[in-house]
Structure 1
Amino acid sequence: MKNHIIFFSGGMSSFTVAHLVKIKYPNDNILLYFTDTLWEDSDLYRFIYEASDKLKLPMLYHSVGLTPIQLMAKERFLYNSRVGNCSKKLKMEPAAKFLKKGIKPLIEIKYNYEFLKTDISPLEEEFAADTILYFGIGWDEMHREDAIKKNWAPFDVQMPLIDEVINNEDVLNLYGIRKPRLYDMGFAHNNCKGRCVKAGQGHYKNLLLKDEKTFQEVKEQEIVLSEYIRYTKQPQIKSGKCKDYLFKDVYNYLSTGIKSFKIEKILESVDYLSSSRRLFGNDSKGNPINKPYSYIKGMTLNLLEKQPIQCDMWDIGGCGCFVDYENTLND
């Protein structure tokens, strides 16, 4: 009996893959595998649990217990459209550690495991030889195929949608499942509630138009993270000679949304800081710490909101999960 593990992102394509695998291998083990960033849209969770119920397939839920913004604060680095470790550290690494080494992350939920035919354990002998990994990559993303297969060697990695062009909505209709709401809102994927830090100007303009409340939240988080990172660039802070007096306030705000006096002052001063940006003095090279950090290349969300007509609506961007990942678990 083979094990078939579907990387189940909460997107329509991964659902279609699960449907195809179930039809082709009805007597084998099939597992939906979801790694959570804890930053997803509430409707994504509705979708993955309903999918598990309607497909009658077990689902394994894993999370390291951190959101992308919490991770950014810990690393003192603002992920952006050029570089982002959130998918790597919150999705790829925990998945690889579990599948290759049997190491479980902080949070694990087993759902509908009564549909599992036999136990699946990464520590069993010949586990990789008996297990096929599936990704919802279509023909329009064929450029990701080689990197994903390389990352997940020695597993057999398959991407059925590269060869089979199927309408995902037709498959959902077979099971009577409503597609995730982010697709109806015009987003290209169902990741991170439409606030993917690797997205582009057009993506965030769409978020501003379709979900202004979430846009305002992520805009303020970007401001706070940007100013916090600039603060930590001071030589005394960076070297550890001076205590970091902002981290506790920043981390609590990013975790709970509660704004301390320090956070309120940062947000109130954003326009002043944007023009002068000399609040935190000079860095170790004597240069003013005056660079604003942003998710979008060359534009903060604060600026995008004020000048939306000047943004590039074709700059969509997005997270290339499971591609930009240096595999260090084969040793």
Structure 2
Amino acid sequence: MNRKPVHIAMYSGGASSAFVAYHMVKQYGRENCILLFTDTLWEDEDNYRFMEDTAEYIGVPLTYVVDGRTPEDIFFETKYLGNARLARCSVELKVRQTLMFLEKLRTEQNLEPILYFGIGPHETHRAYNLRDFYADMPLEPVECRFPLIETFTEEPDVRRIITEEWGIRLPRMYDLGFTHANCGGRCVRGGFAHYAQLYKTWPERYALQEEMEEKFRNQQKKNVSILKRGSHPYTLKQLREHFETDPDYLEKLLSMNINMDKEDLQGAPCFICDIEKD
């Protein structure tokens, strides 16, 4: 069956995905494009502001896909606390919702989705993972495109372009020192350094995560945690208490001058390629 192509920018709230969306729309026209955002309901409020500002500049309204549950809901429903090695919240709230949306485009509107990601040359391995994942769909494969890798001969300075040429302020989490803005700093895949930054910047959000983790541990009667140090659980309560007794520990973590496994320290990307394949 012949379907009309529809070009979909996978909007993440970051500068690169907005830049890619702009060039996608410029090439294929507003009427043939969608800006898709899967909302976990934990996002920082300034991310929404940035996405709406850039969508208005691009000239295509943002399409929100919302499951209605938060990551915390997923943890308690699945009885599995997300961590830097596995986060079922991204599977349920991002991956599954995206696949359902794509299937509706095909079956209800006779459209063929083509996905665009703001992944740069320094993350080529993520592009490979995404392409493999979408090529192995249960029903039909989905084409993926990575303009920052495949189209541009040099990676553009997207942050400068958006701030200086578009006149749009970047999400505040860039300036606050976070490596990514997923879930308003509460991303369970963030790692020690990320949670050190969260504690430093928004202790009230850190407290919400600590409270959730303690509630999960008590309710499930399991010695589990969001953070890991080697193969051992390391709770947010322990980390906070460490911060309180050793003022230099926070700076050691933020500067990464501490002996720790890289994945435990830096975390891992929360992305659609994190889904488990059966």
Matched, 1:46 2:49: yes
Q: Distance in 2 between matches of 1:122 and 1:209?
A: 46
Q: 1:34 aligns with which of 23, 26, 37?
A: 37
Amino acid at match of 1:58: P
Q: Distance in 1 between matches of 2:200 and 2:57?
A: 33
Aligned residue in 2 for 1:177: 168
Change (3 A) 1:196 1:54: same
Give the match's secondary structure for 1:81: coil
The answer to whether the 8 A contact 2:86-2:274 is kept is: no
Deviations 1:191-244 (A, max 9, x none): 1011110111011001111111111111111111111111xxxxxxxxxxxxxx
> Which residue is 1:123 aligned to?
107
Deviations 1:147-206 (A, max 9, x none): 211222322210111243011212212221110111111111121011110111011001
Residue 166 of structure 1 corresponds to: 156
Find the aligned partners of 2:116 and 2:204 in 1 and give their Cα distance.
35
- After superposition, the CA RMSD in angstroms is 2.0
User: Counterpart of 2:273 in 1: which secondary structure?
Assistant: coil
Q: Which residues in structure 2 correspond to 1:128-277 (within 5 Å)?
A: 128=112, 131-153=113-135, 154-163=141-150, 164=152, 165-173=155-163, 174-230=165-221
Aligned length in residues:
247
- Secondary structure class of the residue paired with 2:19: helix
Using the TM superposition, give the Cα deviation of residue 322 of structure 1 relative to its aligned residue in structure 2, in angstroms: 1.0
Q: Are residues 1:293 and 2:221 paired? A: no
**Offset at 1:312?**
4.2
Q: Partner of 1:79: helix, strand, or coil?
A: coil
Change (3 A) 1:25 1:171: farther
**Structure 2, gaps ≥5 residues long:** 136-140, 244-248, 257-264
Amino acid at match of 2:145: Q
SS at match of 2:272: coil
Shift of 1:24: 2.5
Identity, in percent, stands at 34
Query: How far did 1:41 drift?
Result: 0.7
Q: Is the 8 A contact 1:4 1:28 kept in 2?
A: no
Task: Check whether the contact 2:191–2:268 (CA below 8 A) recurs between aligned residues.
Answer: yes
> Of the two, which has the highest radius of gyration?
1
**What secondary structure does 1:323 align onto?**
helix
Q: Indicate the structure with greater helix content.
A: 2
CA contact (8 A) 1:2 1:28 kept: no
Task: Give the distance between the partners of 1:8 and 1:327, measured in 2 at CA.
Answer: 24
TM-score (norm: length of structure 1): 0.70
1:248 maps to none
TM-aligned CA deviation for residue 97 of structure 1: 1.6
Tell me how far apart the structure 2 counterparts of residues 127 and 32 of structure 1 sit (CA, whole Å).
15
How far apart are the structure 1 equivalents of 2:199 and 2:109?
50
Following superposition, the deviation at residue 52 of structure 1 comes to: 1.4
Distance 2:142 2:205 in 1: 38
TM-score (norm 2): 0.82
Question: Do the aligned partners of 1:30 and 1:58 also contact (CA within 8 Å) in 2?
Answer: no
In 2: Cα distance, 1:318 partner to 1:68 partner: 16
Report the equivalent of 2:275.
Answer: 325
Instruction: Tell me the secondary structure at the aligned position of residue 225 of structure 2.
Output: coil
Q: Give me the whole-angstrom Cα distance separating, in 2, the residues matched to 1:197 and 1:209.
A: 17
2:14 aligned with 1:11: yes
Aligned to 1:71: 74
Q: Structure 1 regions of 5+ residues with no counterpart?
A: 103-120, 231-290
Name the counterpart of 1:235: none
Q: CA 1:167/1:70 → structure 2, altered by over 3 Å: closer, same or farther? A: same
1:25 to 19, 24, 28: 28
